Amino acid sequence: MPADSHKLWALLAGIMLVTVPFFPRIPLPVTALSLIMALWLAAMLLNKIRQPDKWQRAGLLLLAILVMSVSFGTLLGRDAGTGFLILLAFLKMLEINGKRDVYIVVYVEYFLIASNFFHTQSPWVALYVFATVIYLTSILILFNDKISTLDTRRRLMIASRMILQATPFMLVLFILFPRIPGPLWGLPKDAQAAVTGLSNSMSPGSVSSLIESEEIAFRVRFAGQIPPHSDLYWRGPVFSRYDGQTWEADNAFGKATANLIKGEKGKTIQYTVTLEPHQRNWLFALNYPVNLQDSGYRLTREVQLLSRKKINSVTRYSLTSDSGIRNHSLSGYERTKNLWLPDTDSLNQKTIALARQWRQLVGEDDRRVIDRALRYFNEQPFVYTLNPPLLGNDAMDDFLFETRRGFCEHYSSAFVYLARAAGIPARIVTGYQGGEKNPVDEYLIIRQSSAHAWAEIWIDGTGWQRVDPTAAVSPDRIESGIQDAVAERDLLPTILLGGNSILLGLRYRWDSFNYRWDEWVIGFNRERQFELFKKLGFANIDWQGMVIGMVVLLALVGTLIGLWIFWQGAGARQDRLKQAYDRLCQKLAKTGISKNNTEGPTEYFSRMRHKLTPASASKARGLIQYYLALRYGMASSPDRQRQFIKSVRRFTPHLK
C-alpha cells in the first residue's frame, strides 16, 4: 500500500457514501458483490488479508460481469449503467496502487453522484449531492496533502471553499447554457418507471386506489383569485367506450381536434400549472383552454389537452380557460359512440328498464331525465365510500339496486350508463377535483388523492355539459374536499386529515419551497429561459447570443474569482521567480534526483551536484546563488528577475 491506510479509509467512506443510496435501487446481486468488495478492502486496511493479486482481480472482474449479465443482461440503460459503474469503482478500490488510481475512483464517484438525478431531482437529493461532492473533494485534498497538516475539518473547509468558488460558474452555466430540445438530454427508457396517476382506462377501483396517495399531481398558480372549490374540475382523460367492466378512451380518430365555439357569457381564468412527471401525454386543464396556438399542445375531439411528448420531467404550462366556450355540434359518429352500450339484450336489464321508465315519465326533455337520475342518487340510500363491495357481471344492476355503495367511478359510470340507456349521449371524464390551497404562497396543490371521475352529457343546443353524480350523493366531496366526504376517516392518508396546525404550517412551507424548486430549478426549460431573458430586457436573444453571453459571463466570473484568489495569495508577486526556480528544479531532476519540497536550494544542489558534469554543476550553482540572492537577498529587481528567468530557460544540465 503506497498510501497511508487512514487515507484509504476516507476513500472507502466516500465510496460508501456515494453508493449506499443506490443499493435499494439496483439488483441484490450487484449490491452483494459491492459489499463483499468493500469488506475485502476493509479487511485489507486492517491487515487481515492481502491486496488481491492479478488472478484474484481477474476473478472478481469475471464475477462482476456474471452478476451484471444475470441482473441486467445489458450494460445500457440507467440502472445497468450505474450498477456497472459501482462495481467498477469497487474493483478499482481493490487495486489502488498510487495516486492515479485514487483519482480514477474519485472521478467515477463524482459521476455516480450526479447520476442520482436520474432518479429524483428533489431539493433533498440536491443537498445530498452537494454535501457528498464536498466530501469527495476533501478526499482529493487529503491525497494531495503531502505533509498531512490538515485535519478533517480543515480539509472540508477547503473543499467547501472550492465548491463555493465553483458555484458562480455553475449558476452561469445553469442559466445560460442553451437548452437544446432533443434526444441529447433524454433518459434511457428504464428511467421512466411507472408512477402514480390516472390511467388510460377506468374500471371500479382505479380512481379510489389513488385516494391513498399523498403524491402531488400538479400545482397551480392563478393569475387572480382562486375559483371556488366546486368549479375546479381539472379535466384529464375522457372515456366513451364501455365493455361492461372497463371504460376506455376512443382512439379511432385521436388526431381530430375539438370543434369549439365561443358562447355568450362565461369568464376567463388564467393559471399556470406545474405538472409532475407522469409518463403520459395528457395535461390537465379547466374547461376549456383557449390560447393554445404557440404552446405545442392540442385539444382532442373530446376536449382533452394533450402534449406531443410524454410528460417525463416537471412541465410547466400557462393556460387561459374560458367557461363560455362550448362544442357546437355532435357528429353522427360521435352520437352513436356516446350512446353505445354493450349487450343491452342480456346485461343490466334492470338498469335499462329504469332509464326507459324515466324517459317515458318525463317525455322528450333530456334535462328532466338527468334531474330524475340525480334525484335517484340523492334520495335512494347510496353511500360514498372508499371500499365498495365487488360487483358481479351485471355491474350496474348490482350497484344501483343491491350494494349502493361506491366511489366516484361507480357513480359516474352508473350515471353515464343510465343516460345512454335513456338515449342521451354521455361520457366519462376523469381528472382531479378541487385542490388544497397553500396559505403560504397562495397556490393550489392537487394531490393524487383529489382524483375524480364525473360525467358529461350532450344537450342539443348547449353542447357537452358537466354533470357530477357524486355531488348528488355526497355534496361535501365537491364543496370542500375528500376529507369531509368519506365516512371511514382512518382509511385516508394522514395528509388529508389535517390536524396539528404547526406541522401543517411547516408542511405548507416545505411544499411552497418544493414548488419554487420545481418552478425555477427543475422546470427551468427553454421557455423559462427565454421568459427570464425577456424580463431582463433581452427579448430577442437567440442561441448565439446566449452562448456569447455565457462565454463572456464565464470569463468575467473567472477573472473576478481569479483576482480574488490572486489578492488573497501572499507573495503572489514573487510567483514568476518561483516558477522559474521550479522549472530549474525540474530540469535538474533529470539527474534522477528530484527536489523535495522541504529542501532548500543549496541543500538540493549539494545532494545532486555529483551527477552533473563540472561545467554544468558550476552553471547550476551560479543559477541557484542567483535565485537565492533574488529571493532572499536585496538584489531583486525586475530586470534581474527577467535575466534569471532567461538564464533558466537557456540552461540544460549535462549528466556525467
Partner 1 sequence: MLQSDMDSPVKQSTWLAGLLDEALSTIGKIILGKEEQIRLALTCLVARGHLLIEDLPGVGKTTLAHVIAQVMGLDFQRIQFTSDLLPADVLGLSVFDRENNIFEFHPGPIFSNLILADEVNRATPKTQSALLEAMEEHQVTTEGTTRSLPDPFFVIATQNPVHQIGTFPLPESQLDRFLLRIHMGYPGKQAERDLLSGADRRSMIDQMKVVFDQKKLKLFQSQAQQLHVSDALLDYIQAILQFSRSSNNFEFGLSPRGGLALLSAAKAWAFITGHGFVVPEHVKTVLPSVVNHRLLASGRAGNASDIVAADIILQNVPIP
**Residue 4 contacts partner 1 per CB under 8 A:** no
Closest separation in Å from C-beta 571 to partner 1: 6
Catalytic option among 366, 397, 398, 468: 468
**Residue 639 contacts partner 1 per CB under 8 A:** no
In the structure grid, which three cell numbers stand for residue 471, read together? 355531488
**Residue 645 contacts partner 1 per CB under 8 A:** no
Judged by CB, which is closer to partner 1: 424, or 620?
620
Q: Which of residues 472-491 bind partner 1 (CB under 8 A)?
A: none
Judged by CB, which is closer to partner 1: 47, or 597?
597
Judged by CB, which is closer to partner 1: 392, or 633?
633
Among 100, 634, 638, 652, binds partner 1 (CB under 8 A): 634
Closest separation in Å from C-beta 4 to partner 1: 13
Catalytic option among 79, 408, 511, 518: 408
The per-type count for the chain, helices as H runs and strands as E runs, is: 23, 18
Query: Is-catalytic flag, 542?
Result: no
**Residue 7 contacts partner 1 per CB under 8 A:** no
- Residue 384's SS3 state is strand
CA distance 162 to 435: 44
Judged by CB, which is closer to partner 1: 243, or 599?
599
Judged by CB, which is closer to partner 1: 218, or 627?
627
Query: Is-catalytic flag, 468?
Result: yes
Of 206, 259, 269, residue with least CA distance to 232: 269
CA distance 131 to 194: 30
Q: Which of residues 98-117 bind partner 1 (CB under 8 A)?
A: none
Dihedral pair phi/psi, residue 319, rounded to 5°: -135, 155
Does residue 433 contact residue 478 with C-beta atoms inside 8 Å? yes
**Residue 331 contacts partner 1 per CB under 8 A:** no
- Kind of pairing between the strands at 247-248 and 405-406: unpaired
**Residue 431 neighbours by CB distance under 10 Å:** 25
In the structure grid, which three cell numbers stand for residue 5, read together? 491506510
Query: Is-catalytic flag, 408?
Result: yes
In the structure grid, which three cell numbers stand for residue 99, read together? 495516486
Of 436, 442, 471, 437, residue with least CA distance to 454: 471
**Residue 100 neighbours by CB distance under 10 Å:** 8
* Total binding residues toward partner 1, as defined by CB under 8 A: 29
**Residue 633 contacts partner 1 per CB under 8 A:** yes
The alpha helices in 218-321, defined as continuous H runs, are none
- The piece of 50-58, 232-240, 427-435, 600-608 that touches partner 1 (CB under 8 A) is 600-608
Among 251, 270, 602, 637, binds partner 1 (CB under 8 A): 602
Does residue 541 contact residue 168 with C-beta atoms inside 8 Å? no
Closest separation in Å from C-beta 568 to partner 1: 14
In angstroms and rounded to an integer, the radius of gyration of the C-alpha atoms of the chain is: 36
Does residue 443 contact residue 223 with C-beta atoms inside 8 Å? no
Among 626, 644, 648, 653, binds partner 1 (CB under 8 A): 626
**Residue 601 contacts partner 1 per CB under 8 A:** yes
Which residues are marked as active site?
408, 452, 468
Q: Which residues bind partner 1 (CB under 8 A)?
A: 146-149, 151, 570-571, 574, 597-603, 605-606, 621, 624-626, 628-629, 631-636
